[in-house]
Amino acid sequence: MDTPPGAIGVETIGMTKRFGAFAALDDVSMKIEAGGFHALLGENGAGKSTLVKCVMGFYAPTAGSVLVDGREAEITNPKGAQARGLGMVYQHFTLVPSLTGAENLVISRADAPAILDWKAERAALSAFMAGMPFRLNLDRPVAELAAGEKQKLEIVKQLYLKARFLILDEPTSVLTPDEAEGVLGLLRAMTDRGALTVLMISHKFREVETFARSLSVLRRGRLVGGGAVGDLSRDDMAAMMIGERVVRPIAARIGVPDAAREILRIEALDATDASGLRRIAIADLRVRAREIVGIAGVSGNGQKELADVLGGQIRAAGGRVAVAGEPYTGRRAQSRARRVRFIPEEPLRNACAPRMSVAENLAFRAFDRRGEDPSGPPTLWLDRGAMTRRAKDLIARFKVKTASSEAPIATLSGGNVQRAVLARELTDPVDLLIVVNPCFGLDFAAVSEIRTRIVAARNAGAAVLLISEDLDEILELSDRIVVMSDGRLVYETAAATAEIGTIGRHMAGHH
């Protein structure tokens, strides 16, 4: 097991992938030189993942071919891609949590024997690791590794499998800024030595500018531009990604937080998730009227548990959550009386019943009120007529694209599901709005529209608690930023004076 002998170049020629008559990828020809560090930019749904999946053999392209090192390569499955030295690191982890790093590496090998000689494997692994840019402890179970270490292990795994062309799908979405810089810097160094070629899917201009040497931009399945990094400004790149579409600017925050009206107050909150492994301890958190408080943090530092407590999904073991001075546990009567709305992340998974219709999903908040009027008196009889009327009204007002109000909500795109959820939750006056990763996985247009609605709710006087793993989103929307790390709130700053480096250090747990 020696280090890869050298980088290979990959070229796609006229790559096209159709699903029925819909072209997810339309005649994309792109060349990535051996030893290059190439960035692939594009909105959600622009065809980036489809392109790399075609290269990796997950999809059979409708037309087009792949050249590996100048020779046509018929890659029909990921194994074939691996055999040719192509490897891919996914956004989500693919390691077995209960196994150690070493075990994960060895079992991933296609030629691993049925009975392992661990002594020999270990010797081979330490020889292999000596040539790696990353230092990793391979004897610890993966479950105990931090996200950055896991991501490094994923990359090491590909190199161990002799990948000389590495595809990274948004590799830094789970890392702190420092970790991201470390990992990408080391990969860049490998490409500079000619040991590796990297193709990186990314949303982050800063990363692309710092680490990539060249870039391509996809829009609606077509290659719309590209070139050397440095020749293109951020505005150029954004313009290529978005095209001619008009993106609504986010409404400005109007007015200042109402210091006298404290809406949400959390004191000495103590809670544990269902598995009992993750504990949060929130000493003190307050959100005032007309204020957006952003909770920043790397995924898995207790944000989900905090959201679950506020959404009534897990019960606090101790402490106090109060809304407008009264205890709050997320019960329906409480959220109605105190006008609390909760918009969870991944709305299709957490806020909708996928197989129920759009109209039914839109009715979740008001179905038990007479005439589907959220402020009406309670009723035992379901009013289907009112349900459909209200659904049609909301679909029109929030521009939800759907075949009909009777279509199952699972048939809508992510942006339209989120629009439907916002339509349901934000149509009446709101005092407290809790949102979790509201723009995760949505395209530009949907993102700006949804952020505008959140700011509009704030301007109208709502207290907003924004829990997000997207630091840019936090910086853009918040009045005040609080950093969450290891289940605690570790740092607080006014957004106006926020400094990214300091926030990043606290996110990483260095404080």
Give yes or no for a contact between 464 and 457, defined as CB atoms under 8 angstroms apart: yes
**Contact positions with other proteins (CB under 8 A) in 400-429:** 401-404, 406-408, 410-414, 416
d(CA 32, CA 216): 10
26-34, 122-130, 359-367, 475-483 -> range binding other proteins (CB under 8 A): 359-367
Indicate which single residue of 15, 159, 363, 481 sits in contact with other proteins (rule: CB under 8 A).
363
Residue 91, SS3 per DSSP: coil
37 binds other proteins (CB under 8 A): no
Which amino acid belongs to residue 373?
D
What mask, x for binding other proteins by CB under 8 A, covers residues 332 to 351? xxxxx-----x-x----xxx
Q: Which of 494, 423, 430 is nearest to 458 (CA)?
A: 430
Choices 46-54, 61-69, 120-128, 276-284; region in contact with other proteins by CB under 8 A: 46-54
**Minimum distance from residue 124 beta carbon to other proteins (Å):** 34
- DSSP states along 189-221: HHHHTTS-EEEEE-S-HHHHHHH-SEEEEEETT
For residue 5 the two structure tokens come to 């002998």
Instruction: Work out how close the CB of 219 gets to other proteins at its nearest, in angstroms, rounded to a whole number.
Output: 12
Residue 48 touching other proteins (CB under 8 A): yes
Structure tokens at 418: 């989120």
CB of residue 404 vs other proteins: minimum separation in angstroms? 6
Minimum distance of other proteins from residue 97's CB (angstroms): 18
Tell me the closest approach of the beta carbon of residue 303 to other proteins, in angstroms.
Answer: 16
Residue 100 DSSP class: B
Asked if 356 touches other proteins (CB under 8 A), the answer is: yes
Residue 317 is a binding residue for other proteins (CB under 8 A): no
Q: What is the DSSP string of 218-253?
A: EETTEEEEEEEBTTB-HHHHHHHHHTTPPPPPPPPP
Contacting residue, 35, 297, 302, 311, with other proteins by CB under 8 A = 311
Instruction: Tell me whether residue 176 or residue 335 sits nearer to other proteins (CB atom).
Output: 335
Q: Which stretch binds other proteins (CB under 8 A): 8-16, 45-53, 191-199, 257-265?
A: 45-53
Q: How far is the CB of 371 from other proteins (least distance, A)?
A: 12
**Tokens standing for residue 343:** 């918009």
Q: What does the per-residue mask of binding to other proteins show for 366-405, with x meaning CB under 8 A?
A: -xx---------xxxxx------------------xxxx-
In terms of Cα–Cα distance, which of 201, 217, 242, 170 is closest to 445?
Answer: 242
3-class SS of residue 464: strand
Please answer whether residues 414 and 428 qualify as being in contact, where contact means their C-beta atoms are separated by less than 8 angstroms: no
Q: Applying CB under 8 A, which part among 71-79, 318-326, 358-366, 481-489 lies near other proteins?
A: 358-366
Q: Of 176-235, which residues contact other proteins (CB under 8 A)?
A: 221
Q: Please, which residue, 50 or 100, has the CB nearer to other proteins?
A: 50
Residue 365 lies near other proteins (rule: CB under 8 A): yes
Binding residues for other proteins restricted to 91-110, rule: CB under 8 A: 91-92
CA gap 346, 417 in Å, rounded: 9
* All residues at 6 or more sequence positions from 346 whose CB lies less than 8 Å from its CB, including other chains: 437, 440, 441
Find the binder of other proteins among 50, 151, 303, 485 (CB under 8 A): 50
**Six-digit token pair at 111?**
């030629």
Residue 374: how many other CB atoms lie within 10 Å = 16
Task: Compute the distance between CA of residue 235 and CA of residue 374 in angstroms, rounded to an integer.
Answer: 44
Shortest distance in whole angstroms from residue 397 CB to other proteins: 14
The residue type found at 352 is C
- Binding region for other proteins (CB under 8 A): 19-22, 24, 44-45, 47-50, 91-92, 221, 311-313, 330-336, 342, 344, 349-356, 360, 363-365, 367-368, 378-382, 401-404, 406-408, 410-414, 416, 441, 443
